[in-house]
Amino acid sequence: MKLNLILFLLVFSLHNNLYSQNLEYFDTENERFWGINKNSWGGLIGGGVLKFSSKISDKMYSTIGFEIANIKHPKENKYSSALGYGRTFVWGKKNYLFPLRAQYGRELIIVSKKDQQGIRVNAQLAAGPTIGMLVPYYIKYSRNNRMEIENFDSSIHTFNNVIGSASFFEGLGEMKFKPGLNIKAAVNFEFGSGKSASAIEVGFLGDLFFQDIVIMPTARTYTFYPSAFITLFYGRKY
């Protein structure tokens, strides 16, 4: 009899403990995620993301996000110097473009987790301002048997005299800021247990600038940069 009572109390206690853990898990009010991004305008790593979410109802979160990305022109190609030494360079490139985005939006829970090992599926819509950071692209150039560091200019530079690309920091002091807007629509697949979680987000994003952005003067310029993207997230719930 005593053994049965002890077993009953142990089972009851374990059940209550698991139930309370599940309540804590599903009732988290805030989430913080950071991640890395791959998009159709960028390179291997397209940028970084920081996102904060706050619960406003059982099925809805408000979100605040910050992103920085690297946008490359579709005509960019890397070349080796005809001089036989130096770093690779992009012929025709005038500027780097790094959009800094702020976003406010809503995240709707489409599929809730049934347990701590499940997957939650969210749909997200967000928008906000973009500040395009335009940084001059510098090259190392052979002029009269001397190496010069100059901002690329197709009217004065010849391909065969380019030694290679210079340091990114050469043009940092000449950065210009180009204002714009962005909008994002995405689906988020979140998995994990406890207060830690990982997620994969896929979707579409567009940056609209108020004037043409010159990355390569000899190629087409754009004001609107639509892209498909995938982001890998890791974060905490509290």
The pLDDT value recorded for residue 14 is: 35
- Residue-range definition of the domain harbouring residue 164: 30-237
Q: Is residue 18 part of a domain?
A: no
With a cut of 80, say whether residue 26 has pLDDT above it.
no
Report d(CA 228, CA 64) in Å as an integer.
Answer: 20
Q: Is residue 25 part of a domain?
A: no
Q: Is residue 182 part of a domain?
A: yes
**Are residues 181 and 119 in contact, defined by beta-carbon separation less than 8 angstroms?**
no
The pLDDT value recorded for residue 5 is: 40
How do residues 85-103 score in pLDDT, each as one tens digit?
Answer: 888 999 999 999 999 999 9
H/E run at residue 16 = helix 2-26
- Do the bridges between strand 89-90 and strand 176-191 make them parallel or antiparallel, or are there none, so unpaired? unpaired
CATH number at residue 134: 2.40.160.20
Average pLDDT, the chain: 86
The pLDDT value recorded for residue 19 is: 39
Report d(CA 72, CA 194) in Å as an integer.
Answer: 39
The pLDDT value recorded for residue 92 is: 93
For the chain, the straight-line distance linking the first and the last C-alpha, in angstroms and rounded, comes to: 43
Q: Nearest Cα to 188, choosing from 179, 200, 172?
A: 200
Q: Is residue 15 part of a domain?
A: no
Report d(CA 136, CA 150) in Å as an integer.
Answer: 10
Return the percentage of the chain with pLDDT > 90, whole number: 69
Report residue 6's pLDDT band, with 50, 70 and 90 as the boundaries: very low
Q: What is the mean pLDDT of residues 55-68?
A: 94
Q: Is residue 123 part of a domain?
A: yes
Instruction: Please count the CA atoms within 13 angstroms of the CA of 41 that sit on its side-chain side.
Output: 22
Report d(CA 211, CA 174) in Å as an integer.
Answer: 19
Considering its fold, how many domains does the chain have in total? Answer: 1
How do residues 154-178 score in pLDDT, each as one tens digit?
Answer: 889 999 999 999 999 999 999 999 9
With a cut of 90, say whether residue 135 has pLDDT above it.
yes
Q: Is residue 19 part of a domain?
A: no
Q: At residue 194, what is the residue type?
A: G
- Do the bridges between strand 176-191 and strand 119-136 make them parallel or antiparallel, or are there none, so unpaired? antiparallel
How do residues 203-230 score in pLDDT, each as one tens digit?
Answer: 999 999 999 999 999 899 999 999 999 9
The pLDDT value recorded for residue 33 is: 95
Report residue 116's pLDDT band, with 50, 70 and 90 as the boundaries: low
Q: What is the mean pLDDT of residues 28-35?
A: 89
How do residues 174-201 score in pLDDT, each as one tens digit?
Answer: 999 999 999 999 999 998 767 888 999 9
How many angstroms separate the most distant Cα atoms in the chain?
Answer: 101
The pLDDT value recorded for residue 174 is: 96
User: Tokens in use for 81?
Assistant: 């110097």
233 or 58: whose pLDDT is higher? 233
Report residue 238's pLDDT band, with 50, 70 and 90 as the boundaries: confident
Q: Is residue 76 part of a domain?
A: yes
Q: Is residue 3 part of a domain?
A: no
